[in-house]
Amino acid sequence: MSAQFNTWSDFFSNQKKIQKESTIENLDRLSKSTVYNIESNIDNIIFNIKKNKVKINVVLPYRGRLNSLLTTIKSFENNITEDDFVLTVVEYSDSRTFDDDTNFNYIWIPSKSNEFNKSICLNLGVISVTSEFVLLHDIDLFVEPNFLNSVLDNFGQKTNSIIQCFSIGGLINLNHHNTEKLKNYTT
């Protein structure tokens, strides 16, 4: 059975509904898992959503690499305008890194035993903010000042609902020494 949509807005609204239902079902199924004991932690998830309606929600799943996260957040600073973009950091760890005094959306999922479930981080980050576009990003990918504008331009020029932002230029893999030099340059 296939569904017909009159507009992209209808399509994305339907997709968001499906994702939310699927996330709830997956969390329920995972709560019964012996690998990820989510049930004991599900009521302790902390949502600190500062901006809920934006053009682009940039979801950053996070665990334990604070310097990389802070450098990536800083690299987005020249991209973010008050109304158009928000960073949503979703931390999956045994203790919170941030309190309520952040300039980005923050979700904390308690974990145990060094587990990290990136999929749950991404799913909660996506369904927690109402946005036209969602960018799933990694904390070790620093961006140029015009990055988000380029993403919007790519969406405007194409009819695809999903794009690979690095499809032409690719990523530049750096060794540890050059990564530290880049971090120092961007901070």
In a domain, 2, yes or no: no
CA–CA gap between residue 100 and residue 91 (Å, rounded): 13
CATH code of 170's domain? 3.90.550
Is residue 93 domain-resident?
yes
Indicate the number of domains in the chain: 1
- Alpha-carbon span 156 to 147, nearest angstrom: 14
Residue with tokens 């699927």: 22
Using an 8 Å Cβ cutoff, are 134 and 56 in contact?
yes
Alpha carbons 4 and 135: distance in angstroms, whole number: 25
pLDDT, position 106: 93
pLDDT in tens, 125-142: 988 888 888 889 888 888
Identify the band that residue 1 occupies on the pLDDT scale cut at 50, 70 and 90.
very low
> Would residue 1 count as lying in a domain?
no
82/13 Cα distance (integer angstroms): 23
Say what percent of the chain tops pLDDT 90.
Answer: 10
pTM value is: 0.67
Residue 162: give the domain boundaries: 8-186
